[in-house]
Amino acid sequence: MTAGTRTGAEVGEVLAALGSVRDPELDEPVTTLGFVSSCTVSSDGVAHVRLRLPTYFCAPNFAFLMVADAQDAVIAVDGVTGADVVLEDHFASDAINSGVAARAGFVASFDGLAERELGELRADFVRKAVMAGTDRVCRPLLAGGRRPEELAALTLGDVPASPERERLRQRRAELGLPSGLADPLLVDPTTGEAVGVDALPLHLGRARLTRVGADANSSMCRGMLRERYATRGQGQTDEEQS
């Protein structure tokens, strides 16, 4: 082997890839939420990832999206030869794990129980992320003395650069909404049209409510996850505990 020759993926690279996988409802990475319980890479280049969720009955459609996204993210890492992504301690683990591994899609994985794939559900949550992100970007402007009606005339480039501004731009880009620095700061998350002064109060109110709800759900999920795994015995399943 010559110096600099790559022999396989590193665990850190796989974890970094998993950082791009988000809980669709919370719009936060599964890594920061604590949903990745273990991550290893075997000598043959297969990445083994174990995922866990705050409750045994977390919505199976959300869970399916996260497992499928994790599978795609891991297999794309340079040096990974295979991805073994497993959701543990969930009532639909078997259906989700086997369906994702076979790339069967949500409907086929839940044969007779699901009517449609999850593309529109994913888009709905990205639209909510756009609204929550709008509040996170606008609140500092309002706190700094900007009048609400002034916001309607601002572009994304008029807002100081920040992680929240870039996150908002990314979510808008995912939906095909205007996301360039010359584009309006405030747009309708469905149509992409600029929000005018007359519609501004309702838009900002919706954005604030969406952000508050997302933050509350995130806090609740983190607490439930800590409680679930801090109080359970080593290797004990939820069914055994009950």
Q: pLDDT tens, 148-164?
A: 999 999 999 999 999 99
| Residue 8: per-residue pLDDT | 66
Instruction: Please say if the pLDDT value at position 4 is more than 50.
Output: no
Give the separation between CA 113 and CA 108, rounded to whole angstroms.
9
CB burial of residue 148 (10 Å; 0-12, 13-18, 19+) = middle
Q: What is the value of pTM for the model shown?
A: 0.89
Mean pLDDT value of segment 4-8:
49
pLDDT of residue 236: 46
Extents of the domains making up the chain: 11-109, 119-222
CATH class belonging to 11-109: alpha beta
pLDDT at 238 over 70: no
User: Cβ distance 136 to 214 under 8 Å?
Assistant: no
- In this predicted model, what pLDDT tens digit does every residue of 65-103 receive, in sequence order? 999 999 999 999 999 999 999 999 999 999 999 999 999
Q: Could you give the CA distance from residue 36 to residue 43 in angstroms, rounded to a whole number?
A: 21
Write out the H or E segment, with its range, that includes residue 48.
strand 46-51
**pLDDT, tens digit, 9 for 90 and up, residues 37-53:** 999 999 999 999 999 99
Q: What are the structure tokens assigned to 186, written together?
A: 């405030």
Predicted local distance difference test score (pLDDT) of residue 9: 80
